[in-house]
Amino acid sequence: MPDNRTQAQRRATMQAVRGSDTQPEWIVRRLLHGLGYRYRLHVKNLPGKPDIAFSKRKKAIFVHGCFWHAHGCGIGQPPKSKLDYWLPKLEQNRQRDARKAKELCDMGWKTLMIWQCELEDIRALKKKLKSFLEER
């Protein structure tokens, strides 16, 4: 199936995809702030630059888009065209995520992955965040 956009249009679309301060990140950050937690953003000296970090607790939260990190849910399905490009790219993202989480674990940090699809149930998300941050 051919792409229905020109190369310039596709490039502009891809360049518009944000890597940080995304809407899902903002939702999680507002929830955490409302629950009384204070945190640091995109800590550069930690593996994977976690979206949200709690240095004293040694806990990090990554807010992942289901598509870009190949979650496999309804949102995270790979495209139907150019599979020879997309499948290896998405698999590399998954492998990098696992590698960075392991590096953090080796440093004594605990990590939590929040998926874009989890934002649909705010109550469950609040409970998950509280549980993660309060566990010893």
Residue 116: partners with Cβ closer than 8 Å, 6 or more residues away: 24, 63, 64, 65, 66, 67, 71, 75, 76
- Predicted confidence (pLDDT) at residue 32 exceeds the cutoff of 70: yes
Contacts of 66 (CB under 8 A, 6+ apart): 72, 73, 75, 76, 115, 116, 117
| pLDDT-based confidence at residue 81 (cuts at 50, 70, 90) | confident
Q: Tell me the per-residue pLDDT of 85-135, one tens digit each, with 9 for 90 and over.
A: 889 999 999 999 999 999 999 999 999 999 999 999 999 999 999 999 998
Say what the pTM is. Answer: 0.85
Cα–Cα distance measured from residue 100 to residue 53, given in angstroms and rounded to the nearest whole number: 14
Paired tokens of 45:
């000296």
Name all domains of the chain by residue range, CATH numbers in brackets. Answer: 19-134 (3.40.960.10)
pLDDT at 51: 95
Mean pLDDT (whole number) for 52-59: 96
Residue whose entry in the numeric block shows the structure tokens 């150019």: 82
